[in-house]
Each structure stands twice: as structure tokens, then as C-alpha cells.
Structure 1
Amino acid sequence: MNRFLTDHPVTRRNLLKGGMGLGAFALLGLAGCSNEGRGGALVGNGSVVLPTYIPYDGVAMDIKGGDGVPDTMLKYPANPKRVATGQPGDGKDVGIFGLTNTPVPPSVENNAYWQELHERLGFALTIALTPAGDFTDRFQTTVAGDQLPDLFEMFPGEVPGLPGLLSERATDLTELLSGDAVKDYPFLANIPTESWQSCVYGGKIFAVPVPRGPAQSMVMYARQDYFEAEGIDPQVTSFEEFHSLCKDLSGGNTWALGRVPLGFLRQMYEIPNEWSDEDGSLTGARLHERQEEALEAGRRLVADGLVHPDGVPATQPQRKTWLVNGTIRLLDDTFSAWPDFSNYPIDDQFRLSVVQPPLAAGGGMAGIHLGAPIQNITAISSRSADRAEALLDVINYLAAPFGSEEHLFRTYGVEGVHHELDGTDPVLTEKGSTEIQLGLKYVVEGPWVNFQAGDPDVAQAEHDAQTTVVPTAVRNPVQGLFSDTASRRGSQLREKIEAVEADILAGRQPVSAWADAAEAWAKGGGDTIRDEYEKALAAREG
């Protein structure tokens, strides 16, 4: 196993998510577990000691984060140092069942990056890389055939019977990771505590999280370069002001919005982030008294022609193209999407800013809804339990922190082949953009760092926006908890109520139709989901 260098001594978390079907789990006898996956899945969770959080300080950040805001790096460090010595693991090959939302890269025999990765690791990394659209079927087949490799990835809220699956097919990592035990894996200790909550079931730690911090929070982007050129301030102080701004921005072949920003509107009307919690008693946001006000606001935006007419069927990449070419001026997306705009044909003038949601009636600013702290989790197969320490060593190696030599290679490959330097910043070549897409960032990753190669202004702007909105962001109180009903039926319940939502926004149904739809959601499973989350919340709190 690798041992860590002493010059920086270390003392010791919208891809497209694939929801799991029930077929494979029924075959395994996991789908109908009466305790696992319901209250019993969380029994003992309050007594689990999560891994000790020890931030890695071997790379000095340009701007240190705080109050939930991640660190920011304006320039990639020159001559990054190695933070590990030797090769990770036990020298044996490692298999991964992973997911990707990018084109599958060239196979290993035609992939210089993959070959160099093997050289550095000292063993072969076999990756069953599955496109997002095929993930559900492929995962079901793999589980049913008892063919899960050494490491496998999952989205914890989307796998029916997840606690039973983990108990049967994953290795208990509690003794290796709980509390100070994680010091043996210092880059995993660098993962914030809250990210680990999604890895605990039945009083045991079964996985490692891929942290994201606030990066998955939805915000409203504005074309700041356009607004400054026109002398317009996009920051509004009420919904009526927002409506007026959108009206001024729309006309001819230009619209203010690429779609109805319903999340942004719900923030204006102080609707909770999925659930509200009062002394352990939960209420679903769909039942909130101001939902109809937010829907009426969205309906007005559509009726007044302020939303692109093709906004509903369009993909988010298409909407981003509209924002880049000036067809729209505002677009809601996640913080993690900000660096992605560098992949579009932007000019030197292109700049973004974030519009904070105002209280609908005015009088102050509302809080954004804080996104999930993790992207996904990665478990070690029970078939590989005898190699758990070695496999954690490999995972730890892949989690090497931003600014290290290991991170530079894992993310950008070999200089002159996969990236060129812009100053000290690595910029991917065409070869790099295709070859490095092995999905390693969904196996594990260190804490999110704001960074944009070749453009420090983007990283600075992202930091400034997060500093404004993240400390006051509204949390989802059930984040990191598991509801069996939500995993099995949540998507169907969501589809039904969102169909009514879409009809209201398009004017096909009156706003008053929401009340019946929300009641049907509650009776159809929402109340059961609430009960399960309340039990899980009580278990987590001891």
C-alpha cells in the first residue's frame, strides 16, 4: 500500500441519475425486506461515529472557503508535488462498475491516458463504464447475476431496497473508516463530515461519498456582460420587479428565460427545500400554502411570452447555447455548470453573474435551496471483503487533493499529450478531452474547489456569488437519509404531480388544480415517505 510523504504530514463529496427498477432486487429477495430500507435501515445510525474530518492543508488555496463556501484556486499550482509515495493497493487488478455522462473513451489498448494510469497504479483498472441512459438495466443485470466487481457506484436515494442490497452485497467499512480510523486514508479524511451521512445504513458505514458541497445548488445565471453594456441591474427586489425585467428583456427572437425557473420562484415565495422540519415533524414542500402563488407567477411568465417557446422540450445544453448566443438572458442551473460554459463558443466579453432570489413581495432576499452535498457513493463488493483495506487505499489515492501531482494527472493527464499549460493552468487537448473520460470522478473525489483553467475571473466570480448566497441557503432536512418508499415510488409520484405542474404553467389547467394533485401525492405515498424520513431523522439524531 502507498505511504504518504512527510513534507506535508497528514495526521491521520445534472448528471443524469439512473433510477433503479425493482426486478433485480426482487430476484435477490431484497425488494420486500420489512425492516431493511424502512425504519430498521437506520437503527443504530445515531451511534455510528462518522469518519473524523481532517482538512488537507498541503496545498495553499488562493481563497480559503468558509460558512459552507468551498475553497477557490485562481491559478493551478506550479510544479505540483506528489502527496503519496509508492503504488496504492495490493498489486492486484481492480474492477469498477461505473457511470458516465460523457462519450465512452477509447479502449485501453488505444488510450494513452489509461495505459499511463495503469503504469502509475501498478495494476490494471478494469472499468465497466456505463452511459447514464443504460445504467438502470445494466446495474440490474449485474446485481442479479452476482457479478458486481470490486467497486460499484450508486445514487443512494434511487436504489430500491438499498440497505438490504448493501448488507448483502457490500463490505462493512465501519472499522476501517469510523472516527480516527480514517486517518489511515488521509484523503478520505479530507471529505467533509456531512457527505458521509449518505453512506450509513443499519448502523454501519458501507460506502465512500463523492462530495460536491454547494456545487449542486441551483441558481439563476445572468449574462452580466449584456446587462452591464445595457446599463441594467439584473438583481431585482420582488417578483413584480423580476416580471418587469423579464418583459424588458423579451421581444422579437429574444426571450428572458430558457424555461420557467420554478425553483427560483419557489425560493421567492419561501417554500421549503423539499421538506420542512419542526422538532422532528416533517411537512412536504408540495403541501406548502404558497405553492399556488409560485405556480401563478410561473404561469404569468409563460402567458406573457417571457419564456422561450421551445423551453420545455429543449435540453439544458441547448438552453445554455441560447444563453451564449443571446437568445435568452437568464438561465437557472447549478453552480457546477459555471465552468462548463468554457466548452461553448463564448467570446472574450462573455461573463456570468448570479441573481439572488428576492422575497416575492419585496423587503429582503430569500435563501437559495442548498443542493445535495454528494454526487453519488461508491461501495466495495462483499466478494472483495478480504481486500477492503487495499481497495480503500486505491480509493484514497484517487481522492488525492486538488493541486497535487496525482490530482493533476487524474484530471488532466500528461502534459503535451492530454493537456497544455496556459501559464500554470492545465488546458485539455482534444486527445485529453476524449481519453481521460474514465468516470474516475464518480468513483471518489476530494472536496469541490472553484477553479477555471485559464480564466481566474470565473473562479473569483463563482466564489463571490457563493459567498453571497451559500451561508444563508435553505437546507433539505432529510438530506443523507433514506426512505424506501421514496426510492421505489418517488419517481412515479413526482412524475404525476409534475405533469399537473406543467399543465398549470402552460395554462391547460387552472392553478387551483394543484391542491388536488398535492393531496393525491400525499395519499399516494407522500405521507408514507414523510413517516419513513421522520423515523430516519430520529434515528440519526440519536
Structure 2
Amino acid sequence: MTPNAASTSSGPSRRSFLASTAVATAAVAGGMPLLTACGGSDSGSREGATSGKAADKLIPTYVASTVAKPDLPSKNGSSVGYTSKVDLAALETSIPNKLGTGAPLTIMSPLWGTPPKGGCAYYKAVDAAAGTNVTWQNQDGNTYAQKLGAVLASSSIPDMVVVPSWILVSNKLPNAVIAKFMDLGPYLAGDKVKKYPNLAAIPSDSWRMSIFGGALRGIPMPSAPASFIMPYYRKDIFDKRGYSVPKSADEFLSWAKDATSAKAKVYACGDMSWVSGSIFGNAPGWNIDADGKLRYNIERPEYLEALEWTRKLFDAGVVHPDDKARTGDAGQRFTAGQILVFNSDTSAWYMKTAEQAHANPDFRIEAMDIFGADGGNPTLWASAPATIWSMIRKGASKATIENALAAANFAAAPYGTKERMLVDYGVEGTHYTVKNGVPAKNDQGNSEVINAWGMLAAPAPYFAHPDFPDIARKQAEWQQRMGAFMKKTSTYGMYIVEPTRYASLSSQFEQLQIDYVRGNKKLSDVQAAISTWRSAGGDKLRDWYKELLDKNGSGN
């Protein structure tokens, strides 16, 4: 259950945090080539990946949840959607018996805003329901990468740690994950997971991507394959000005020039880099292309085409100056009407609607269907089935392990259950009230029910907004439409640990792309960097990937 409008004031939610990894994934496709990160091999090596039959032996048995049949089933890799009101008096129980024993448990997790006080009413209520005794070590979400790196380099690891995928792009961190976190297979592999029914209901693809160093080490937050970055537009302003939604790269540029008025301080868009790769159909990371050749994303002509189109937008002056300077918040510029298009994850559709419901009742946000560059159908690439994990430190006692798994199982409760309601909203009367069947957080709910418990695990992907059910329908239907054009890369669903000698091979490209689209570098600089990448190890890394895919098979 997605928290209501009031909750948006407390900063990014778990869903926003989760979706921010989709931003990282889209950045790979749209012009920020980060090395594919991490995985493990069935031989116990810290390099490679585990997939196919070898992975099947390590993952939990899948047992789908039967709670709350969705109004919009998954289609073409979409999340499911719930658009009907939930009977809060008839919520089901997904955990009939407490699995926690009350043993102490420390958890490190990112959090935005002011952390709730230890022992607050929300923490007490969830602990009481789950049978846990959690001490939260909440860290600033904006600097979590630095904190996680420092903790993994130390000898003092909390019992449970939330680990996001985009932080693992450094090859030192995957190795640290393998060294510092335990194999969960003895507790979750095969039918063992049935002790934890909510974890058993997490899709198998998400578990397969939770294998590091040949062992199941992560409890995943699953992602829908059709979780693409969305190009949002101000539908209210489009309607008022009679704009048509662009359907090709050239149409977008033409519209953007018409819509921009620097004098009025209104610009067509923010930086379109995050979606340009999707428009031009470039596969993220490594993929065996239609001609049978294995390429990295920066080697394809679509990569340069996406960069050149993005640069045209900057050169035409249709991108807001603050986006060019990389300052401020594009989302705030969007709601203020200073830009009419911006890119973000699926959560922005609800969050912006809820945020503006009272401040600007005329505000309408929609997501453009992603178009192919030439106006035809797009070629889209499936998102990773897992992007964030919670992990348990090696050496933890049996009591600690069992309580950590009990906590994750509680956090993964499906939509339509008492446990999901408690995690997302807290206690009725204390943290929220119900009006016309819709829960709404009060001030205490906004200060205490933020995103700590929701970071440990999640159910199969879904959209549900009791206060704005139409948004859930639109989100699901958009993913269904776009998923019809989706393909999977050769490395889909694998968490791959590359050899450390290639760790910095692609590090220059992110800044180079930022500089190029803003006119500070030449196309020849990008082309030279690609040539250097090949000679400095890219071609050898290709050979390594060929061997990996020969051994593991293709992810598509």
C-alpha cells in the first residue's frame, strides 16, 4: 500500500529509493555507461556469475501469494495494479504466528529526512507484531554510498545491512559483500523458504540475481522488468497550450523549441539523458547483438546517436539552465512549471500528484509513451529483476539470523494484509486516520513512518494508491504498453562480478558524457575515449564475457 499524500513531505520513500536504481539502470542505457556489477560463480570464485541450473539449486522455491487479487494483472513484464478500495476491516494476515523471538537485531539502512527516535511508537508497534527487537542504524540516504563503503571496510558490521546495486559498481564492494555477508541458502534455499511465506512469494528471477560469490547472500527487493524511466510531461499545460505529445526525436526537438520561452523562464525539458538511450534503443551493458557479435553499450551507433540528440536539445537552449548546470531539483522545476518534461522513475507519478493535490489542484502529470527515434516502435530493454538487497553479516548467531529473516518476511508482506498496512502506515489513530475508506497519515505518521522497515524486503512489484487509484491504473497500463516492446539482454538476471583489473575501465565516461551533451567536449573526444577503452582492456573484457556467457548461457 503506497502511503498517502501527506507522506511525501518526509522525503523519498522506499519505492523512490528502489526506483532510483532504475535511474542508474536507465543511465547505462541512456548515456552513463557503468560497468555491469557483480555476482559470483558456482565454483566459489569472486568473479563471474551463477545462472541457469546452477542458480536454480541455490534459490528458494516460489510460492505465489494468494492475497488480494489485482485489478490489473501483470502483462508484458509490468507490475500488477490495484485500483479498488481496500476494505481495511477485512485485511488478511500473512504471518499467523510471530516468527521473531525478540532477540536483539541491528540494521543499517538509508533514510531521508530526520530519523525517528529509537523506541518510537511506530518501531514499537512493528517490533511487537513481528516479534523482533530492532535497533536501527539509519544513515543519510544522500551519503549512503560512502557510509556503506566505510562499514564494509571495517571489522564492525551491523547484523543486517541494506545494499543497493548502483553502489556496487565499484568492484571492490562486490568482493566485500562476498567476504562480509553470509550464505542464506541453509535457511532459504528450496523448500526451506516456506517457513517464510512472504519471502517465498518473491519472484524467482529476483532471487537468482541475489547470488553473490556462488551463494545466496541477498534478500531482494524485486523490480518489474518493465520498470523503465518515464518521460513525464505537464498534461495540464499541454492541454492549455494545445501541444501534441511528440512521437519521434525530431518532433520532440521541434516541440521543445516552440515550447521554450527563456524570457518567461519556461523551458521545454530537463536533461533527457536518462531516457535518450531508450528512445534510440541502445542495449545497456554487454549484449550479443542481432549480428551475433558481443558489444558493450558504448560501442553501438545508438550510443552516439542518443548523445548527439541530447546535445541538440542543450544547443537549442530548450533545457533549463539549472539542469545544464546540474544544480537544484528538476522535479521541483517541473511542478513549478519551469520545465514541461522531466525524467524520473515510476514513483514520481504518484508522488508529484499527491504533493500537488492541494497546492495546485489543476496540476496533471502524465508519462509519454517512449517513442522510437524515427517515430516507430521503441526497442526497450528489461530492467534488472532485483536492485536492492538486505544481507546478514557472517558470524551472526542463529538467533540473530532467524530474527533478521523474520523481519524481512514481515517487511515483504503483500498488498491487502495487516502487516503491509502496519509497515506502510503505522497504527490507526496514532499514525493515520481513515476517511471514506482512505488512510491518511497525521504529523506523527509523517515523522515516524518513513522508510526504514520498508527497506528490508518487498513483495512482488505492484502499484496501489488508495487516495489516487487512477494513478495506479495509469502506471500499470503504461508499463504494459511499453513492455510490449521489451527485450532482455544476454546478461539479464545475472549479477556479474568483473575482474578487478577492469574496475576503472569505464570510469571516465560518465563525466565525458555530461561534458559532451553540454557542449564542453567534442564528438571526437567521445570516439577517442571509446577507442582507448577497447585498447586499455575493453576487448579483453569482451573475451572474458564471451567465456562467461559460453559457460552460463544467455540471459535472454
Question: Shorter-chain-normalised TM-score: which range?
Answer: 0.7 to 0.9
**Alignment check: 8 A CA contact 2:180 2:393 kept:** yes
Asked whether the equivalents of residues 258 and 311 of structure 1 are also in contact (C-alpha less than 8 Å), the reply is yes
Cα distance, 1:143–1:349 mapped onto 2, change above 3 Å: same
Q: Which residue of 2 aligns with 1:360?
A: 373
Q: How does 1:9-408 map to 2 (within 5 A)?
A: 15=17, 36-39=45-48, 45-46=54-55, 48-78=57-87, 79=89, 80-100=91-111, 102-109=112-119, 111-156=120-165, 157-158=168-169, 160-161=171-172, 164-214=175-225, 216-236=227-247, 238-251=248-261, 252=263, 253-259=265-271, 261-278=272-289, 282-314=294-326, 318-342=329-353, 344-346=355-357, 347-362=360-375, 364-384=376-396, 386-387=398-399, 388-408=401-421
User: Which residue does the alignment assign to 1:10?
Assistant: none
Cα deviation, 1:15-54, whole Å, max 9, x if unaligned, reads: 467x9xxxxxxxxxxxxxx973223878984563532222
Q: How far does the alpha carbon of each residue in 1:147-166 deviate from its partner, in whole angstroms, 9 at most, with x for none?
A: 22322222344363556545
Cα distance change of structure 1 residues 215 and 119 upon mapping to structure 2, 3 Å threshold = farther
Q: What is residue 455 of structure 1 aligned with on the other side?
A: 468
SS of the residue corresponding to residue 444 of structure 1 reads coil
Name the SS for the 2:323 alignment partner: coil
Distance 2:49 2:409 in 1: 30
Q: Does 351-360 or 332-341 show the bigger shift?
A: 351-360
Identity %: 24
Check whether the contact 1:256–1:330 (CA below 8 A) recurs between aligned residues. Answer: yes
* Structure 2 residue identity aligned to 1:96: I
Opposite residue 523 of structure 2, the aligned amino acid is V
Aligned to 2:429, the other structure's residue is in SS state coil
In structure 2, give the amino acid aligned to 1:130. Q
- Give the C-alpha shift of residue 269 in structure 1: 2.5
Against the structure 1 CA distance between its residues 465 and 89, is the aligned structure 2 distance closer, same or farther, given a 3 Å change threshold?
same
For the residues of structure 2 that align with 1:344 and 1:513, how far apart are their CA atoms? 42
Deviates more, 1:369-378 or 1:441-450: 369-378
Deviations 1:82-124 (A, max 9, x none): 2222322233122212222x11423124x22112223223342
Question: C-alpha distance in 2, partners of 1:324/1:527?
Answer: 45
| Local SS of the residue matching 1:311 | helix
Give the aligned residue type for 1:319. Answer: A
State how far apart, in whole Å, the 2-side matches of 1:163 and 1:44 are. 23
**When the two structures are aligned, how many residues end up with a matched partner?**
508
- Flag the 1:367–1:108 CA change in 2: closer, same or farther, 3 A: same
Q: Residues 159, 505 of structure 1: CA spacing in aligned structure 2 closer, same or farther, 3 A cutoff?
A: closer
Distance 1:417 1:340, change over 3 A: same
423 and 488 in structure 1: CA distance in 2 versus 1, 3 angstrom threshold: farther
> Distance in 1 between the 2:138 and 2:130 partners?
19
Once the two structures are superposed, residues 121-151 of structure 1 have per-residue CA deviations (whole angstroms, 9 ceiling, x without a partner) of 3342111111134434433443444322322
Distance 1:482 1:73 in 2: 31
Query: Structure 2 CA distance, aligned partners of 1:329 and 1:93?
Result: 49
Task: Work out whether 1:469 is the aligned partner of 2:482.
Answer: yes
Q: Aligned-pair distance for 1:534?
A: 4.0
Q: Give unmatched runs, 5+ long, in structure 1.
A: 1-12, 20-33
1:430 alignment counterpart = 443
Aligned partners of 1:281 and 1:221: how far apart in 2? 35
Contact 1:401 1:446 in 2 (8 A): yes
Q: Which amino acid in 2 is paired with 1:37?
A: R
Whole-angstrom distance in 1 between the partners of 2:16 and 2:532: 28
Q: What is aligned with 1:27?
A: none
Indicate how the Cα distance of structure 1 residues 155 and 281 shifts in structure 2: closer, same or farther if over 3 A, else same.
farther
Letter in 2 for 1:114: Y
Match for residue 519 of structure 2 among 473, 494, 507: 507
Asked if the contact 1:222–1:331 (Cα under 8 Å) also holds between the matched residues in 2, the reply is: yes
Aligned residues of 2:377 and 2:485 also touching (Cα < 8 A):
no
Question: Contact 1:44 / 1:203 at 8 angstroms: preserved in 2?
Answer: no
Structure 1 position 456, deviation (Å): 1.5
Secondary structure of residue in 2 paired with 1:357? coil
**Aligned counterparts of 1:477 and 1:14: Cα–Cα separation in 2:** 28
CA contact (8 A) 1:482 1:536 kept: no
Shift of 1:481: 3.1
Counterpart of 1:442 (choices 450, 455, 459) is 455
Secondary structure of the corresponding residue to residue 486 of structure 2:
coil
Q: Deviations over 1:521-541 (max 9, x none)?
A: 334454455444444444443
Return the offset for 1:195.
0.9
Q: CA deviation at 1:214?
A: 4.3
Once residues 185 and 365 of structure 1 are traced to their aligned partners in structure 2, the CA distance between those partners, rounded to angstroms, is 42
Deviation (angstroms), 1:403? 1.5
Give the conservation status (yes or no) of the 8 Å contact 1:482–1:533.
no
Between the aligned partners of 2:259 and 2:50, the Cα distance in structure 1 is 51
Q: TM-score scaled by structure 2? A: 0.83
The corresponding residue for 1:496 is 508
Return 41-50 or 344-353, whichever deviates more. Answer: 41-50
Question: Which segment drifts farther, 240-249 or 515-524?
Answer: 515-524
Whether the 8 Å contact between 2:202 and 2:459 is mirrored in structure 1 is: yes
Q: Secondary structure at the match of 2:70?
A: coil
| Corresponding letter in the other structure for 2:61 | T
RMSD of Structure 2 on Structure 1 (CA): 3.0
Question: What is the aligned partner in structure 2 of residue 26 from structure 1?
Answer: none
In the alignment, the residues of structure 2 paired with residue 213 and residue 521 of structure 1 have an alpha-carbon distance, to the nearest angstrom, of: 32
Q: Deviations over 1:249-274 (max 9, x none)?
A: 11132111112x12433333222223
Q: Structure 2: which 5+ residue stretches go unaligned? A: 1-14, 25-42
Amino acid at match of 1:510: K
Taking structure 1 as the reference length, the TM-score comes to: 0.85
- The structure-2 alpha-carbon separation of the partners of 1:107 and 1:35, relative to structure 1 and needing over 3 Å to count, comes to same
Contact 1:269 1:290 in 2 (8 A): yes
* Partner SS for 1:383: coil
CA shift, 1:444, in A, is: 0.7
Q: State how far apart, in whole Å, the 1-side matches of 2:68 and 2:62 are.
A: 17
* Alignment match, 2:12: none
Match of 1:7 in 2: none
Q: Secondary structure at the match of 2:380?
A: coil
- Deviations 1:400-432 (CA, angstroms, capped at 9, x unpaired): 111211100111111222122242222222221
Determine if contact 2:353/2:363 at 8 Å carries over to the other structure.
Answer: no
Aligned CA distance change for structure 1 residues 115 and 233 (closer, same or farther; 3 Å): same
